[in-house]
Amino acid sequence: MDLPNALDAPRIEFSSPAGMLSYYRSDAPGPAAAPLLLVHSINAAGTAYEMKPIFTHFAAKRPVYAIDLPGFGFSERSDRPYDPRLMTDAIHALAERIHADHGDAPFDAVALSLGCEFLARAASERPERYRTLALISPTGLDKGAPYDDAPGTTRGMPWLYGFFRNPLWSQAIFDMLTSRPSIRYFLKKTYGRPEIDEDLFEYDYLTTHQPGARHAPFRFVSGYLFSRDITRIYRALGMPVHVVHGNRGDFVDYSGLKEFVGRPNWSIERMHTGALPHFEQRDAFIRDYESFLTRNTAGP
């Protein structure tokens, strides 16, 4: 089945050290404004669609870039080792494009869930590129924190990945995990309620039924995309950081955030939503984010 574009904007493909990457770009008319980079989450169905409410709102105001990370959406889905380095390099590659389009001034960036770890790593490696960061439902800040293991280490479980890779049942397992009932089940757990975004549900089904769709998700469920050094990465961030998370559903453990409460460059907002506050309460989320930008830059 064909996969339509996730966003109502031009989609561009280019070759990079992270493979062939796809991203959406919307250039707002009028006075120049700092670009905005959007990074989706990682799951069986992650794509730029997960950032649609933010993209749609800001597309009329400023240049907005939304990436499909390696293994997802229209980006390369080949069978290769998907890990934090690959995802971070993809963000670096798109950041180079943003600078080529708009010059060397720093830009703002927003990421969702596990995408926050990759964005934080990119910003810690090239801090001059990032004016602010917003982290929605970030991983690596749960009760298992701090994650201070050796740089570059992950939570990968070779035995589990080997199980998923077995050609006797690999595709069958993925087909089961990405059936309509399974996708709806996991979205309900994400939202923490029976009501979900039905358009997101339909796009999730389509994107998980593309060639090569299982490769990156199997690395994800086997732990290879979770960093064991992420707490030291979060600590290294010197630019303004805004964290937004919900209090409902399966993703409500942010015990590790206590280390960052009171840091002058960190602000934390808790909303009465599940893990996708920008879908559930878009207007409130946008108001809060624009207020953060106003406090920490010349304006949104």
**Span 101-114, pLDDT tens digits:** 999 999 999 999 99
What's the CA gap between 121 and 263, in Å, rounded?
A: 19
**Alpha helices (H) in 103-214, listed in sequence order:** 115-125, 158-165, 170-177, 180-191, 198-207
E strands present in 10-95 = 11-16, 19-26, 36-39, 64-68
Beta carbons of 84 and 117 less than 8 angstroms apart: yes
Q: Are strands 19-26 and 64-68 parallel, antiparallel or unpaired?
A: antiparallel
For residue 102 the two structure tokens come to 């708009």
**Span 115-132, pLDDT tens digits:** 999 999 999 999 999 999
CA angle in degrees (0–180, nearest 5) for 243-273-244: 5
Q: pLDDT over 90 for what percent of the chain? A: 95
| CA neighbor of 82 nearest in space, from 112, 46, 111, 109 | 46
| CA neighbor of 274 nearest in space, from 246, 238, 236 | 246
Number of neighbours of residue 240 by Cβ within 10 angstroms:
20
Cβ burial 96-115 (10 Å sphere, 16+ → b, else e): ebbeeebeeebbbbbbbbbb
Q: Is the pLDDT of residue 62 over 60?
A: yes
Residue 107's SS3 state is strand
Q: What is the predicted pLDDT for the residue at 29? A: 64
What's the CA gap between 200 and 274, in Å, rounded?
A: 15
Domains annotated for the chain, with CATH where assigned, are 11-296 (3.40.50.1820)
Q: What is the predicted pLDDT for the residue at 185? A: 98
Q: What is the predicted pLDDT for the residue at 33? A: 85
Sheet holding 130-136, edge to edge: 11-16, 19-26, 64-68, 36-39, 107-112, 130-136, 241-246, 266-271
Q: Which amino acid is at 93?
A: A
- State the number of CA atoms in the 13 A half-sphere of 76 facing the CB: 16
pLDDT classification of 79: cutoffs 50, 70, 90: very high
Q: Is the pLDDT of residue 30 over 60?
A: no
User: CA-based Rg of the chain, rounded to a whole angstrom?
Assistant: 18
pLDDT classification of 300: cutoffs 50, 70, 90: low
pLDDT classification of 299: cutoffs 50, 70, 90: low
Number of neighbours of residue 119 by Cβ within 10 angstroms:
26
Q: Is the pLDDT of residue 251 over 80?
A: yes
Q: At what angle do helices 170-177 and 158-165 cross, to 10 degrees?
A: 100
Q: What is the predicted pLDDT for the residue at 158? A: 97
Beta carbons of 190 and 276 less than 8 angstroms apart: yes
